[in-house]
Amino acid sequence: MIRKRQFVTLLSATALALTLGSAPAQAAPEGHGLDPRPSTAKLARELRALEWLSLGEVDVTSLGKSNQGRPVWGARVGHGKVRVQYVTQQHGDEPLGTPAALEFLRKVGVGHSPWQRWLRSKVTVDIVVRANPDGHEHDWRYNYDPEAFPEYGEHGKGYDLNRYHNPSLAPELNPATESGLVQRRYAAFQPEIMVDYHMQGRYVDAGGKEITASVLWPTNAGVKKADVDFAKQIAVVAQQSINGHGGNVSQYPGGDYEGIARNAYGLRGSGSVLIELSAMDSREQAQIQDALASMLAIAQKAADGSLRGVDPAKADAIPPRGPEIPALAGARAAEPALD
């Protein structure tokens, strides 16, 4: 764990009083430029800075090491009863959830506005910030294990981390090292809500408008209906927040394999959702802000209790993802549906 100074909280009485009232107004996501692909070293500096600037409200921990010895970071903010977990960058070449997570930690953890104190009193948000640092450095989907012959992955590169979250697979036996770290963090935290941030190619909807993001809930038949419905409520909040920020959200055509995080953590009882940001170079900063808007909206609605009042049937009305845009989609879009 990163060393922290001990700080005296001067406003605890005010924060406690705020928990008894309605939610204070939340600031809108800002539009300033963020580094879409911070290096491993820069990510560590950013997290340390957030911990220091937040006076310890942001708690940063190394969850362990990747196969090439890079830290996999966990960051936690808040001390409320409702537990929310976000995971970014399981696939190394899908980076935009990571700067959104850093900005989320800054907006929620750094400062003592009424809204910040209220939110931190209601929820605890845990983030695995860049689950796949080796894949990030190599700019590929997989972790780094070139000698392996993975069932899901590529020999000469490594494992697809998002196929190794099976509830029956013990972390210490997980061949995908970094997936095992995520499993351990999840088991220790036991979140009600789990959201996994990825990226996809470029697609249009039925009307020809480009899709900026896609969402999906668990589709494995073993997930309890109540947990699927809760995940659908989360997906609706994500859709509404991104669309309200200028995006265009579709359903994602994902699979039902139990090793996919979206399914695995649904099987373990969480409201588990996938969010795929489209790889749009000309809209990259807006994509980061859309991811941030979804993180803030999910945490806010979990905090004020309105999340459980969302109609899960609205998720089924989210339009399907349409055809790819061949000239713009890039290599990722040529793949079949891959969370």
- Active-site positions? 276
- The single-letter code of the amino acid at 267 is L
* CA–CA separation, 245 and 228 (whole Å): 26
CA-to-CA dists, residue 36 to 33, 99, 285, 298, angstroms? 9, 6, 8, 22
Q: Residue 5: CB partners within 8 Å, gap ≥ 6?
A: 52, 56
**In 19-130, where does DSSP find H-type helix?**
40-53, 97-109, 114-122
**In the chain, where does DSSP find H-type helix?**
12-18, 40-53, 97-109, 114-122, 133-138, 177-189, 225-244, 261-267, 284-304, 313-316, 326-333
Provide the sign of the torsion angle of the four alpha carbons 228, 108, 296, 140, taken in this order. Answer: negative
